[in-house]
């Protein structure tokens, strides 16, 4: 009994010692190990880590130089969409503003606004820049969106045309072989819009097609007779309405001849060419065909106001020949083929007192012009009786560059039976 009591007391003492040792160990652990971080501390650590990883990223400005730093720490270059807007950075990483060109495309980036928002953003849509409205692409891949569009532009109910150099068409404008008119007055936003219907320009009346596809609508009628609202009108080669105006005091605007019908023109020129043939030896049928083709049957500006049926310029390749031409000239705008496109230029053309004088000077040129000293340009033309051979000699001599010139002359001769004048 006593021993049992002693054993139980020993066990209790032993348990107490174990308990005290455990408590001591626990205290040691609490002293050595810090308290775990709470949830807020964990978030702070994560934010700090992200901040260190993206140190300096975003928009940066040094004076007037603006750049965008990528998460990698490098500056953005080229086209980049940041937020809602597209921007462009040059090779050094500087934000582009104002007009700039990349790979032949023109762009305009805003020069005002807040950095990181509209400042430097590429303009899109129909926008005013330096007092002129331009159109910039609103959609497309990188480098296309924001680029200025050229050529025909349709904005709302209006049409505009921008030349390849980006300038806006205004006034009378030749595009290809067609003539258009773009408004020069009115609200700033609509200046340069394509005009259709009747329009008086510098005292001359024009009619611009009111319908058609893009590139045809708005084109002036030229060298043709047109029915407009149940009435017929004739327009010259420059698109101006032809009227039988009495001679005026102005040497450059007074008409030399009145407009006549195609039939009357052919009979008139055929008779003049027949009389000339007796002196020059140039077939009357060929001369008449050339007059029909090159003067639009007498309706061209040169035929009416300068009596010039063949587009004879004041100087032709430095050639001089005996002629009744008095030396008078008529300056007019004409289309010349240069650098693979037609451009509008002013040139001096010969002005004659009558169509008869024009026919005589033309034949004198064909029979007297020289290719080199002592060598005629159109050898064999005088006296040639075959109109096909005569037309070929004229073409071979360099009179025309049109590869179909001979065929056109022969077609006119056969259609109107012009050999009757030979």
State the pLDDT at residue 318.
61
Q: Which token pair is 379?
A: 């050898």
Q: Is the pTM of this model over 0.85?
A: no
Let me know if 305 is exposed, middle or buried by CB neighbors in 10 A (0-12, 13-18, 19+): buried
- Strand 370-372 and strand 375-376: pairing? antiparallel
pLDDT above 90 as % of the chain:
45
Q: Residue 263 pLDDT more than 90?
A: no
pLDDT band, very low/low/confident/very high, at 44 (cuts 50, 70, 90): very low
17-26, 122-131, 279-288, 356-365: segment of lowest average pLDDT: 17-26
Closest CA to 391 of 12, 399, 340, 28: 399
Q: Is the pLDDT of residue 35 over 50?
A: no
Confidence of residue 56 (pLDDT cuts 50, 70, 90): low
Tens digits of residue pLDDT in 75-126 = 999 999 999 999 999 999 999 999 999 988 999 999 999 998 999 999 999 8
- Classify 83 as helix, strand or coil: coil
Residue 272, token pair as written in the block: 């003049």
Q: Which residues, including other chains, have CB under 8 Å from residue 20's CB and lie 6 or more apart?
A: none
Between CA 90 and CA 398 the distance in angstroms is 52
Asked if pLDDT for residue 343 goes beyond 50, the answer is: yes
* Higher-scoring residue by pLDDT: 67, 173: 67
Which pLDDT band holds residue 254 (cuts at 50, 70, 90)?
low
pLDDT of 5 above 90: no
- Better-predicted residue by pLDDT, 96 or 133: 96
pLDDT at 2 exceeding the cut of 50: no
Residues 96/88, Cβ–Cβ less than 8 Å: yes
Q: What does R_g of the chain's alpha carbons equal in angstroms?
A: 43
Distant-in-sequence, close-in-space partners of 348: CB < 8 Å, separation ≥ 6: 313, 314, 315, 329, 330, 331
The mean of the pLDDT values for the chain is 81
Q: DSSP labels for 128-169? A: EETTEEEEE-SSSSTTTTTBBP-EEEEETTEEEEE-TTSPBP
Per-residue burial over 6-44, b if 16 or more Cβ lie within 10 Å, else e, is: eeeeeeeeeeeeeeeeeeeeeeeeeeeeeeeeeeeeeee
Give the pLDDT mean for 325-348. 70
| Helix, strand, coil percentages for the chain (3-state, nearest 5) | 30, 25, 45
Given this model, what pLDDT does residue 144 score?
A: 94
Query: Which pLDDT band, with edges at 50, 70 and 90, does 295 fall under?
Result: confident
Question: Which of 94, 166, 157, 95 shows the shortest CA–CA distance to 129?
Answer: 166
Q: Does 190 have pLDDT greater than 90?
A: no
Distance CA 192, CA 133 (A): 9
When pLDDT is averaged across residues 340-354 and rounded to a whole number, the result is 74
Question: What is the end-to-end Cα distance of the chain in Å, rounded?
Answer: 166
Give the pLDDT of residue 337: 52
**What mean pLDDT do residues 393-412 have?**
89
What is the distance between the alpha carbons of residues 88 and 80, in angstroms, rounded to a whole number?
A: 6
Range 369-394 average pLDDT: 90
What's residue 374's pLDDT?
A: 77
Where does the pLDDT of residue 258 fall: very low under 50, low under 70, confident under 90, or very high at 90 and above? Answer: low
């Amino acid at each position: 009994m006593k021993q049992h009591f002693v054993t139980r007391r020993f066990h209790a003492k032993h348990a107490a010692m174990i308990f005290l040792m455990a408590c001591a160990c626990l205290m040691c652990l609490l002293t050595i190990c810090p308290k775990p971080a709470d949830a807020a501390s964990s978030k702070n650590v994560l934010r700090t880590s992200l901040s260190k990883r993206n140190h300096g990223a975003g928009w940066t400005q040094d004076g007037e130089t603006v750049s965008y730093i990528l998460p990698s720490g490098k500056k953005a270059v080229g086209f980049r969409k940041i937020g809602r807007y597209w921007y462009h950075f040059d090779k050094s990483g500087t934000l582009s503003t104002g007009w700039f060109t990349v790979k032949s495309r023109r762009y305009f980036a805003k020069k005002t606004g807040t950095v990181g928002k509209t400042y430097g953003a590429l303009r899109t849509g129909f926008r005013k820049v330096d007092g002129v409205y331009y159109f910039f692409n609103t959609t497309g891949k990188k480098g296309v969106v924001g680029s200025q569009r050229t050529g025909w532009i349709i904005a709302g109910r209006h049409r505009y045309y921008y030349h390849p150099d980006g300038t806006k068409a205004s006034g009378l404008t030749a595009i290809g072989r067609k003539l258009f008119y773009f408004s020069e007055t009115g609200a700033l936003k609509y200046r340069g819009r394509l005009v259709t219907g009747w329009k008086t320009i510098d005292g001359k009346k024009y009619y611009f097609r009111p319908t058609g596809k893009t590139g045809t609508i708005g084109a002036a009628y030229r060298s043709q007779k047109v029915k407009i609202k149940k009435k017929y009108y004739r327009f010259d080669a420059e698109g101006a309405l032809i009227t039988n105006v009495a001679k005026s005091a102005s040497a450059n605007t007074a008409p030399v001849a009145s407009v006549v019908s195609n039939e009357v023109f052919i009979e008139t020129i055929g008779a003049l060419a027949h009389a000339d043939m007796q002196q020059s030896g140039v077939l009357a049928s060929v001369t008449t065909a050339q007059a029909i083709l090159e003067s639009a049957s007498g309706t061209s500006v040169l035929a009416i106001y300068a009596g010039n049926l063949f587009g004879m310029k004041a100087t032709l390749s430095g050639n001089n020949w005996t002629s009744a031409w008095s030396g008078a000239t008529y300056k007019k705008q004409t289309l010349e083929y240069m650098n693979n496109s037609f451009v509008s230029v002013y040139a001096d053309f010969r002005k004659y007192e009558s169509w008869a004088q024009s026919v005589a000077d033309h034949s004198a040129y064909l029979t007297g012009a020289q290719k080199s000293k002592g060598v005629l340009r159109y050898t064999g033309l005088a006296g040639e009786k075959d109109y096909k051979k005569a037309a070929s000699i004229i073409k071979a001599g360099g009179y025309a560059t049109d590869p179909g010139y001979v065929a056109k002359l022969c077609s006119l001769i056969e259609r109107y039976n012009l050999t009757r004048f030979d």
